[in-house]
Amino acid sequence: MLRILRSGQRWLTAILVLGIGTVFVVFLGLQGGPSNYSTSGSNVVKVGPFEFGVPEFERVRERREAAIQEELGDQYDARAMRDTLDNLAARELVETALLALAADDLGIHVSTREIERLVLADPGFRDEQGKFDRKRFEEYAQYVYGSQRAFMSERRLALLSLKMLGLLQSQPEVSEGEAREATRRGLEEVKIAFVAIDPSVGPAPEIPPDAIAKAVSSRGEEIAKLYQEKGDLYNRPERVHARHILRTVAPDAPAAEVERVRGETLAAKKRIEGGEPFETVAAELSQDPGSQERGGDLGFFARGQMVKEFEDAAFALTAGQVSDPVKTDFGFHLIQLVERQEALIKPLESVREEIATDLLRGEALRASARERAEKIAAAVREGRTLEDAALEQAIPVGRSGWLSRGNGFVPGVGTSPELLATAFVLEPGKSSPRVFEVGNGFALVQAVERKEPEPAAVDALVAKKREDMLEAKRNERIGAWIETRRDELVKSGELVMNLEAIRG
């Protein structure tokens, strides 16, 4: 799912604006299309003279949905994806119109002959003998778009946008030298020594009552914010921690099949009653891929988070008890209650001092950790190695295996692209006096060994790296251009989105 959402944020207009996977373009004597593109009376998106109604929006949304359904398969959830698809479709319409407007400003045009050549080459409009089938084209245009003119307008707009996109894509350049250096840097590796200081490790300091009282009176907004952020600690509904074993059966399965699966579930319960651990039986028999490897463990959940039949059975159990088979649309479940947490309600006034204490204690621990890190940094500035300086402070030094620049993650330290970048510029044996903030802690680094890539390995990857860098530059340029143009039209009131028009 994450990969799909991220890919939706990249530049995909070049593909989606033409609706690859559907028929391509229209032609046959239609002389252009109206500036007001909408074929409906209720606009969803308006960009300058281009107005897109519900039919136009739905066509784009359907293409997006089909692509994501194909990617996710059975995991696709139409309800969960609704808002995402709406936003992606609206953005595609906006970007298409922005490109078309810019193309028009530059005097770029799309001729009827260009569209004609494309439609004649489209296999979607050919008969069994490979000849253009005018009737097939006309029926499709009428059925999907309502008219040939509406079809012509959309395809003309699409081609105009693509011409502008091609112009923007043609400008960035990446030299072979740039690509070679980037490839070399990507293959270079380093081993480091490091000190990572975690403020949460160590004895908690005592906080004087007067400091707590002062914090309560002077830092009320900060305390209230922490109260909201840690809401589960102070306000939570009744929750249960449960495990389950699922044996699947379709809701419309024949009675004999339902009874067979129910019998399997009862057999599993007998094994548990005979002394086998619930989690062992769940790991062997459960058909829930989300919890099977955890012995059926579902963690804590409140009412309203599970289907009703499952929820009612789970909340009716006592700790350690195993339910009889529970039927849901997924199949039959055995449920074991592990633990119950009663509802917890602590108003802000009752926990102000507790939050203030935690706040001050965390700040004190962090200040102490920074002080230890700065002492090591000062010793490094005086010429000591990181390892010697840490030893004097009785702080352990970690060592890494071979690391590449990658995403900046260092095992034992955390994610810090800046720390790793510093390691690559240090001479082996040299330490950096800089204290890096990594998460809530602090770290220092020393280069131990660096390995340059073999020239042959670099040569093999330069061409691909150059292609990737060029694509990245193009996407960055086009994305920045789109954002600037969009902001300009929003400020002038020429860009309006009305998604409520499709939601009723």
**Which residues, in sequence order, are CB contacts of 473 under 8 Å at separation 6+?**
172, 174
pLDDT above 70 for 56: yes
Phi, psi of 352, deg, nearest 5: -55, -45
Question: Is 418 or 41 the better-scoring residue by pLDDT?
Answer: 418
* pLDDT recorded at residue 124: 85
Phi, psi of 22, deg, nearest 5: -120, 180
DSSP structural state of residue 200: T
Question: Average pLDDT of 313-324?
Answer: 96
* pLDDT recorded at residue 504: 58
CATH of domain 238-342: 3.10.50.40
Give percent helix, percent strand, percent coil of the chain, each to the nearest 5: 55, 15, 30
Q: Which CATH class is domain 189-203+361-451?
A: alpha beta
Read off the tokens for 421: 């970048």
Summarised one tens digit per residue, pLDDT across range 344-394 is 889 999 999 999 999 999 999 999 999 999 999 999 999 999 999 999 989
Domain ranges of the chain: 2-171+484-503, 189-203+361-451, 238-342
Question: Is 169 or 195 the better-scoring residue by pLDDT?
Answer: 195
Query: Given pLDDT bands bounded at 50, 70 and 90, which one contains residue 499?
Result: confident
Determine contact, residues 85/68, Cβ cutoff 8 Å.
yes
- Diameter of the chain by CA atoms? 92
Phi and psi based region of residue 28 (left: phi greater than 0; alpha: psi -120 to 50; beta: remaining):
left
pLDDT > 70: what percent of the chain?
A: 91
Residue 434 identity: R
The beta-carbon contacts of 419-428 under 8 Å, at least 24 apart in sequence, are 419/194, 419/443, 419/445, 420/190, 423/190, 423/192, 423/447, 424/185, 424/188, 424/190, 424/450
Determine contact, residues 39/55, Cβ cutoff 8 Å.
yes
What single string gives the DSSP state of each residue in 211-273? HHHHHHHH-HHHHHHHHHHTHHHHEE--EEEEEEEEEE--TT--HHHHHHHHHHHHHHHHHHH
Instruction: Determine the 3-state secondary structure of 154 from DSSP.
Output: helix
The HSE-up count of residue 125 (CA atoms within 13 Å, CB side) is 22
Summarised one tens digit per residue, pLDDT across range 394-429 is 999 999 999 999 878 999 999 999 999 999 999 999
Question: Is 461 or 14 the better-scoring residue by pLDDT?
Answer: 461
The beta-carbon contacts of 122-128 under 8 Å, at least 24 apart in sequence, are 122/23, 122/24, 122/25, 124/22, 124/23, 124/24, 125/23
* pLDDT recorded at residue 169: 84
Phi, psi of 142, deg, nearest 5: -70, -45
- C-alpha span between 82 and 229 (Å, rounded): 28
Determine contact, residues 338/319, Cβ cutoff 8 Å.
yes
Beta strands in 293-330 (DSSP E): 297-302, 326-328
Question: Is 124 or 314 the better-scoring residue by pLDDT?
Answer: 314
pLDDT above 50 for 34: no
* pLDDT recorded at residue 11: 37
Helix (H) / strand (E) containing 99: helix 78-105
pLDDT > 90: what percent of the chain?
A: 66
CB atoms within 10 A of CB 382: 9
Q: Please give the mean pLDDT across all residues of the chain.
A: 87
Instruction: Determine the 3-state secondary structure of 45 from DSSP.
Output: strand
Nearest to 341 by CA among 482, 215, 435, 242: 242
Summarised one tens digit per residue, pLDDT across range 111-169 is 888 888 877 888 888 888 888 888 888 888 888 888 888 888 888 898 999 999 888 88
Question: Average pLDDT of 74-88?
Answer: 87
- C-alpha span between 185 and 197 (Å, rounded): 29
- C-alpha span between 362 and 399 (Å, rounded): 28
Per-residue HEC secondary structure of 269-287 comes to HHHHHCCCCHHHHHHHHCC
Residues of 60-73 as b/e, b for ≥16 C-beta within 10 angstroms?
A: bbebbbebbeeeee
pLDDT above 70 for 286: yes
Q: Do domains 189-203+361-451 and 238-342 have the same CATH topology?
A: yes
Question: Average pLDDT of 170-198?
Answer: 93
* pLDDT recorded at residue 21: 30
- C-alpha span between 451 and 355 (Å, rounded): 49
Determine contact, residues 362/230, Cβ cutoff 8 Å.
no
Q: Are strands 50-53 and 43-47 parallel, antiparallel or unpaired?
A: antiparallel
pLDDT above 90 for 39: no
